[in-house]
Structure 1
Amino acid sequence: MTTDPASATINQVSPLLVTARELIEDVATLPTPVIIDVRWQLGDPHGREHYFSGHIPGAQYLDLSSALAGPRTTREGRHPLPPRDEFQEAMRRIGINDDSRVVIYDDSGNMSAARAWWLLRWAGKENVSLLDGGLKAWIAEGEDLAVGPGNPIEYGDFTFKFDHMRTVNADTAAEWPDRGVLIDVRHRDRYAGRTEPMDSRAGHIPGAINMPTDGFLDERGRFLPAEEIRRMFADAGVTEGKDAVVYCGSGIRACHALAAMEVAGLDVGGLYPGSWSQWSADRSRPIALGENPR
């Protein structure tokens, strides 16, 4: 990853992360970054209402389901990648230009914000950061929140460039355990098949190991130190030269695990966008149950 000179205020530990204190200083200087609020959690469709109740001043709300995913289908899964032209248009509507600095946050440890980060990187934009600790970190600094709809903004000129992040399809995911490391980042009970609240079958892709992505966060919802995350991946067999592919329920939390790789200084692995929602809907695909990969 290259870093634009304008990102000098970004966290020293990882170019991906910005602290709340750094963001406070950043918004006091020109040009200010484009700040995006991506509040979304499984089972909670009220992100816009949460935004209206209180958000970082100047932040623009981005709806994950409509702006950061294509329509749900059995064939593609619950949150397929958005069409490129529609994603480009959504980014322009919230004021992103080709030369903009972008800072993204949520209120769930960057679990949903990381999806916007990954998609912007996928579209070729480099200068994109996550607010470490999210909205809670901003509030902890004693900063006020704005309420109601965001202020009107100028339409941006963001241009979608050719794919800059790697994706794999179901066939490649199926064979990946024999080529590298396939990582399932859902909670352990869903991985083992003890419960499945969202998709048609329970279990995991045969050969996938389990690394719940909330394990990369501390009790405040901030990413653990880079060395600790790097050690966690190494224990799972993911090191430089050992390629990884990541999936989750529908391709949202998997982006958080890929962000953790970036924090750790590892080459960002591949994303299986359809994830378990696509795999489980295809009755021809095998499933594994229990704690063991196969």
Structure 2
Amino acid sequence: MYTTLLSAEQLQDLMRSKARLMVFDCSFDLTDHAAGEKQYLQAHIPGAVYAHLEHALSDPPLPDAGGNLRPHADAASGGRHPLPSREKFAMWLSRVGFANDMQAVVYDRNGNNYCGRLWWMLKWVGHEAVAVLDGGLQAWQAAGGEVRAGPEPSHFQANFEPRRPLRRLVGTQEVARALGEPSLTLIDARAGARYRGEVEPLDPVAGHIPGALNRPFAANLGPDGRFKPAPQLRAEFEELLQGRDPATVVHHCGSGVSAVPNLIAMEVAGFAPTGLYAGSWSEWCRTPGLPVAKG
């Protein structure tokens, strides 16, 4: 069972062994929501199921009478990419044929930015056997892996059952109550300019949650697009935390997606699982009365 990362060669071995396996392509582009699926149809790992960030891995908010976006009543988080309820997500997994006894492998072609979302969500519904293809589609092709174009045949309906969550989801009020306390260490995965409030291309307010540390998610990868070695990741996170208790860490970003590579990197480094504030900056900055910092 693979639970964090696996290499292209390990995935090839799994596929040859005829293991109970499902591969998910999570490629996406925030500036062109149709681009990821087009890329999937041009080239993907044989048998891979496409997991669209907006349609499968989020519960898209709806505009209210004033034109403001509001999450569905049963959404598990707010922000630009609200998490669907665990039950709704389990229904999607069942529709694509994923079952509780399968190994899941997730990948993208975007520096692990989007596939981590599905990795975390599967852990959140109690599924331990899910791993990120280290290096994504690029590593698969570099290892001589076959790619296929066009749609894949549909899978038979499964009956995926949610189990006890294996990862911690944190909400806005929980973050607000603990702000400034030693029981909470926030790590913001956005690029430095967004964190400092110098630019904000996606949300109505620029800046960051007061006290949050900044580690852009791409800092976890080496020049080859793979996660850095565990000892190097551990040293970098220890330097960032400066003595703060790793058990207090809660990750966030703009909308809860690119925060997950930081969470995965801490686990690769040997730290215990940490929390995810899925609503992230996009929910925080839209919530009246909450403080904003810059610089």
TM-score computed with the length of structure 2 as normaliser = 0.90
Partner of 2:55: 66
Choose from 242, 265, 269 the match for 1:264.
269
Q: Does 1:149 align with 2:151?
A: yes
Q: Residues 192, 74 of structure 1: CA spacing in aligned structure 2 closer, same or farther, 3 A cutoff?
A: farther
Instruction: Give the letter aligned to residue 285 of structure 2.
Output: S
Distance in 2 (alpha carbons) for counterparts of 1:280 and 1:61? 31
Selected match of 1:26 from 1, 4, 14: 14
Residues 111 and 256 of structure 1 are in contact (CA less than 8 Å); yes or no, is this contact kept in structure 2? yes
Percent of residue pairs identical: 39
What's 2:214 paired with?
210
The answer to whether the 8 A contact 1:233-1:239 is kept is: no
Deviations 1:59-107 (A, max 9, x none): 1111111111112235621011112222011111222111001111000
Q: Confirm or deny that 1:273 pairs with 2:278.
A: yes
Tell me which moved more, 88-97 or 197-206. 88-97
Whole-Å Cα distance in 2 between the matches of residues 201 and 240 of structure 1?
30
Q: How far apart, in 2, do the equivalents of 1:161 and 1:208 lie?
A: 32
TM-score normalized by the length of structure 1: 0.90
Given that 1:239 and 1:266 are in contact with CA atoms closer than 8 Å, whether structure 2 keeps it comes out as no
Q: Among residues 7, 20, 27, which one is paired with 1:39 in the alignment?
A: 27
State how far apart, in whole Å, the 2-side matches of 1:284 and 1:112 are: 31
Quick check: 1:132 aligned with 2:134?
yes
- The DSSP-based 3-state class of the residue aligned with 1:42 is coil
User: Following the alignment from structure 1 to structure 2, what is the Cα–Cα distance between the partners of residues 234 and 71?
Assistant: 36
State the one-letter code of the partner of 2:150: G
Matched positions, count: 278
Which deviations, in whole Å up to 9, do the C-alpha atoms of 1:171-196 show, x marking residues without a partner? Answer: 22232442231111100000000000
Q: Which residue of the partner structure matches residue 160 of structure 1? A: 162
Given the superposition, is the C-alpha separation of residues 74 and 203 from structure 1 closer, same or farther in structure 2, using an over 3 Å criterion?
farther
Which amino acid in 2 is paired with 1:256? Answer: P
Deviation of 1:263 (Å): 1.0
1:135 CA drift (Å): 0.2
| Aligned equivalent of 2:254, options 249, 252, 274 | 249
Shift of 1:31: 2.3
Does the Cα contact within 8 Å between 1:177 and 1:208 map onto a contact in 2?
no
The two structures, once aligned, show a CA RMSD in angstroms of 1.6
Match of residue 3 from structure 1: none
Aligned partner of 1:27: which letter?
Answer: M
Return 5+ residue gaps in structure 1 as ranges: 1-6
Cα offset, 1:28, TM superposition: 0.9
- The whole-number CA distance in structure 2 between the counterparts of 1:221 and 1:44 is 22
